[in-house]
Amino acid sequence: MERALMPRVCRALGLCRWPCGPRWPCGVRHRSTREQPPPPAGRGEEGPPASLPRGPGAGPGSGGSRDTPRGHPRPGHRGAGRGSATGRELWLSQLDELPRARKGMERKPLRLERTEGSEILFGIGPCSLALSQARRDLFRLFLKQSSSRRPVMSEFVLQATARGVPVLHVQRRELDELCRGQVHQGVCLEATPLRFKSLEDAETPGLGDDASGKRQLIWLVLEQIQDPMNLGALLRSAYFLGVDRVVTSHRNSCPLTPTVSKASAGAMEVFDVYSTDDLQSFLKAKIAEGWEVVGTVSKPEDVEDVPVISCLEFRWDKPLIVVIGSEGEGLSLETQLLCHRVLAIPPGRALHPGIDSLNVSVATGILLHSICSQKRRHGD
């Protein structure tokens, strides 16, 4: 009986790869002397032939289970006799190996060691402009595998090769992990962060340019803008409409993060952003140089001791600083009192309470367009 069970065991464990016959290569003679047909096509060597001889007690009620894998000896088989312990041990050992094999075949997510002090840019605009400029140190470019044939991805490879940046083609889930689920458009770039520039170290344009008739100057000053999406949108509008310089207060302001770069459509990669630790002192110094400072407000009734006019009525003929306040509080009282005038956007209808203001980036875009449309060269 033990010899009758051995073909099943060695066949299930892969020790015997021959079809059933009168004698097995392992030396155990089969109970049946009839030649068995070869395994069906496509079955390969995954298991024993479909019709193994069934010994006594191998049918229903033999102590086996419906869940017992086909082709494996069943523990507790009544016909196993003295070989029941051996069969059970072999059967259990094989079942233990199967899950291990499956676990080994599972693809583990890519774990990338980030370069110390680096950040991950994401999105086509920010990554392309960062590659084309020399403002960051670049480490690695990550591209989505399935999109490698797109022309824009080929252009990325050319840009990275020209800069000596390694290119890695990875799965989408690796890109998702790199940028923490942001919209990456199939591309990420590992690079050093961008920092604010210091006004003290910058070359400040003087009033001589304007006095000699070259052009008017307009600067945008941001007081405590904290939302990265708003900051990115503000930079994008300022760059598009021709603002000469953007200055932000260092205290309680959003840093120049990859999210800001993405929200600016990459404008942050080509447009310098300056920062000051003392916004009021900076404004006083510019006023002393002859600049005009105008603030903004959504509710004119909240302004004291400063004239409020519509942005449509405003005319400017000297270097100008437009100051924008924070999302929730607007301009601080100290900054508001330094303004020569305050600009307001007239609404197009009677407003319902609670919907009486604009998003800060939208309002700034409207104000800048109204003002910059007057920007002209003297003598035109």
Q: What is the pLDDT of residues 268-292, one digit of tens each?
A: 999 999 999 999 999 999 999 999 9
User: What's the confidence (pLDDT) of residue 276?
Assistant: 94
User: What's the confidence (pLDDT) of residue 167?
Assistant: 93
Residue 41 pLDDT exceeds 80: no
Question: Could you tell me if 271 and 363 lie in one domain?
Answer: yes
More reliable by pLDDT, 379 or 355:
355
* In-domain check, residue 197: no
Question: Could you tell me if 165 and 236 lie in one domain?
Answer: no
User: Among 191, 223, 246, where does a domain finish?
Assistant: 191
Interatomic CA distance for residues 98 and 74, integer angstroms: 17
* In-domain check, residue 295: yes
* In-domain check, residue 65: no
Question: Could you tell me if 162 and 311 lie in one domain?
Answer: no
Question: Could you tell me if 178 and 239 lie in one domain?
Answer: no
More reliable by pLDDT, 333 or 213:
333
Residue 8 pLDDT exceeds 50: yes
User: What's the confidence (pLDDT) of residue 12?
Assistant: 54
Pairing of strands 119-122, 187-191: antiparallel
Question: Could you tell me if 219 and 365 lie in one domain?
Answer: yes
User: What's the confidence (pLDDT) of residue 305?
Assistant: 80
User: What's the confidence (pLDDT) of residue 242?
Assistant: 94
| Mean of pLDDT values over 33-58 | 47
Residue 132 pLDDT exceeds 90: yes
CB neighbourhood size of 361 (10 A) = 21
pLDDT band (50, 70, 90) for residue 51: very low
pLDDT band (50, 70, 90) for residue 6: low
Q: How many domains does the chain have?
A: 2
Half-sphere exposure of residue 26, counting CA atoms within 13 Å on the CB side? 20
- String of DSSP letters for 197-253: EETTTS----THHHHTTS---EEEEESS---HHHHHHHHHHHHHHT-SEEEEESTT-
* In-domain check, residue 337: yes
User: What's the confidence (pLDDT) of residue 213?
Assistant: 45
The token pair that represents 350 in the structure block: 């009677």
Question: Could you tell me if 265 and 128 lie in one domain?
Answer: no
Question: Could you tell me if 155 and 287 lie in one domain?
Answer: no
CB neighbourhood size of 209 (10 A) = 13
* In-domain check, residue 310: yes
Question: What domain range includes position 125?
Answer: 119-191
Interatomic CA distance for residues 5 and 31, integer angstroms: 10
Question: Could you tell me if 328 and 288 lie in one domain?
Answer: yes
User: What's the confidence (pLDDT) of residue 150?
Assistant: 76
Interatomic CA distance for residues 90 and 84, integer angstroms: 10
Angle, alpha carbons 239-240-243 (nearest 5°)? 50
Residue 147 pLDDT exceeds 70: no
* In-domain check, residue 332: yes
* In-domain check, residue 43: no
CATH of the domain at 147: 3.30.1330.30
Question: Could you tell me if 156 and 254 lie in one domain?
Answer: no
User: What's the confidence (pLDDT) of residue 354?
Assistant: 81
pLDDT band (50, 70, 90) for residue 306: confident
More reliable by pLDDT, 260 or 34:
260
CATH of the domain at 241: 3.40.1280.10
pLDDT band (50, 70, 90) for residue 127: very high
Q: What is the pLDDT of residues 55-76, one digit of tens each?
A: 444 444 444 444 444 544 454 4
| Mean of pLDDT values over 127-146 | 92
User: What's the confidence (pLDDT) of residue 101?
Assistant: 45
Residue 139 phi/psi, 5-degree rounding, is -115, -55
Residue 234 pLDDT exceeds 90: yes
* In-domain check, residue 166: yes
Question: Could you tell me if 123 and 172 lie in one domain?
Answer: yes
pLDDT band (50, 70, 90) for residue 177: confident
User: What's the confidence (pLDDT) of residue 77?
Assistant: 47
User: Among 157, 191, 225, where does a domain finish?
Assistant: 191
pLDDT band (50, 70, 90) for residue 323: very high
Question: Could you tell me if 230 and 174 lie in one domain?
Answer: no
Question: Could you tell me if 228 and 368 lie in one domain?
Answer: yes
Q: What does pLDDT average to over the chain? A: 77
User: Among 191, 226, 245, where does a domain finish?
Assistant: 191
